[in-house]
């Protein structure tokens, strides 16, 4: 998606440790005009796929999931992050590791909102090694719902998570795919 | 807003301790058709008021803030919650107490995104005693930005926070105002 790539080049900041800061338009401060375009593109990519719900994880995935949900006119559900694994039988749960915060956490969603009748589109802001996405996939599998695919704003392709999922036959659409980053430059996959 | 009140009556669940569960349409699972209507109503209420940015707090405020921002075509910024007060000089910070989780936390936002030129509309899902909103107001005051007002999905009017803010001359618009709740019934203020 050209508009997003241009925005990354113009406003993104590369920090040591392969970190890409997009706080000025995707997190912390959200450019809603761009977000509407992103939602429209996700809707276009998955139109006719029978998506019944969008699933994301709090909190940075909520904005893009809501934008896509408003345009696709399907409900958005989000998994919550919990420190403890002390959860009761009314929820599905999966564990994941956050490289950003270097902690493990559990993602939790109520069984009421994710059911075997659902056709789920996963939506998130970033995809790197695929930890969060693998957790969400586990929640979908536990529920017996059908996984339609995933839509990601920015994929760090060089970290391999996206290609691993594609190799498993899962449809993963990323609106910007970063092939590599140097100290001064972001190079996209073509 | 009639549509929201009807949804609260139909799907909301009253729990002991004056808790209103709206997980099936406002949190956890978000009814995006309703959310679009809510965003449109917020846009209508504050049209012509010169709003330059919407400010909310993670994570339950993000969905409604993004919906309003998409329709009003203004950026959305959100304060993050931190456990520690160990923050550097590049941010504004305010402390608040969460009655839901019975913990204190700091709300933090970068000085880059909240400036004295801004005219800020605060948006959040709930208003009860007004803790979160007072913290956000403090962030706005620290930045020298102009506070236009606040838009809230559900105000628990019986907890007083909204009327306190109105008495201070702050415009607070709540799309559903709950006068009182019994074990079985939600009564709205008219």
Determine the pLDDT at residue A156.
96
DSSP character at residue B87: -
Cβ-contact B18, B156 below 8 angstroms: yes
Q: Which pLDDT tens digit goes with each residue over A25-75?
A: 998 899 999 999 999 999 999 999 999 999 999 989 999 999 999 999 999
Token reading at B129: 């005693």
Cβ-contact A123, A154 below 8 angstroms: no
Q: Which residues contact B185 (CB under 8 A, 6 or more apart)?
A: B14
Alpha-carbon distance of A35 to A23, in angstroms, equals 13
List per-residue pLDDT tens for chain B, 190 residues long. Answer: 999 999 999 999 998 888 899 989 998 899 999 999 999 999 999 999 999 999 999 989 999 999 999 999 999 999 998 866 666 679 999 998 877 778 888 999 999 999 999 999 999 999 999 999 999 999 999 999 999 999 999 999 999 999 999 999 999 999 999 999 998 889 999 8
| CB within 8 Å: A29 and B59 | no
The SS3 of residue B140 is helix
Q: Which residues contact B169 (CB under 8 A, 6 or more apart)?
A: none
Helices (H), B46-183: 62-72, 131-143, 161-167
A29 CB neighbours in chain B (<8 A) are 53, 75-77, 112-113
Shortest CA gap B113–chain A (Å): 7
Alpha-carbon distance of A129 to A23, in angstroms, equals 21
| CB within 8 Å: B70 and A67 | yes
Candidates B30, B58, B109; nearest CB to A75? B30
Determine the pLDDT at residue A18.
83
Candidates A29, A67, A69; nearest CB to B113? A29
Determine the pLDDT at residue B89.
75
């Amino acid at each position: 998606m050209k508009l997003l790539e241009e925005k990354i080049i113009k406003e993104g900041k590369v920090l040591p440790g392969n970190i890409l800061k997009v706080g000025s338009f995707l997190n912390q401060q959200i450019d809603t005009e761009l977000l509407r375009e992103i939602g429209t593109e996700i809707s276009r990519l998955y139109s006719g796929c029978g998506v019944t719900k969008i699933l994301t994880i709090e909190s940075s995935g909520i904005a893009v999931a809501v934008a896509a949900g408003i345009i696709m006119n399907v409900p958005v559900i989000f998994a919550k992050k919990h420190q403890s694994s002390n959860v009761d039988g009314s929820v599905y749960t999966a564990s994941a590791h956050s490289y950003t915060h270097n902690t493990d956490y559990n993602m939790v969603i109520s069984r009421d909102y994710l059911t075997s009748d659902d056709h789920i589109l996963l939506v998130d802001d970033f995809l790197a090694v695929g930890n969060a996405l693998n957790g969400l996939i586990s929640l979908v599998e536990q529920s017996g719902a059908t996984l339609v695919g995933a839509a990601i704003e920015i994929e760090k392709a060089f970290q391999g998570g996206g290609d691993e999922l594609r190799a498993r036959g899962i449809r993963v659409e990323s609106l910007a795919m970063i092939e590599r980053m140097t100290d001064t430059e972001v190079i996209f996959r073509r």
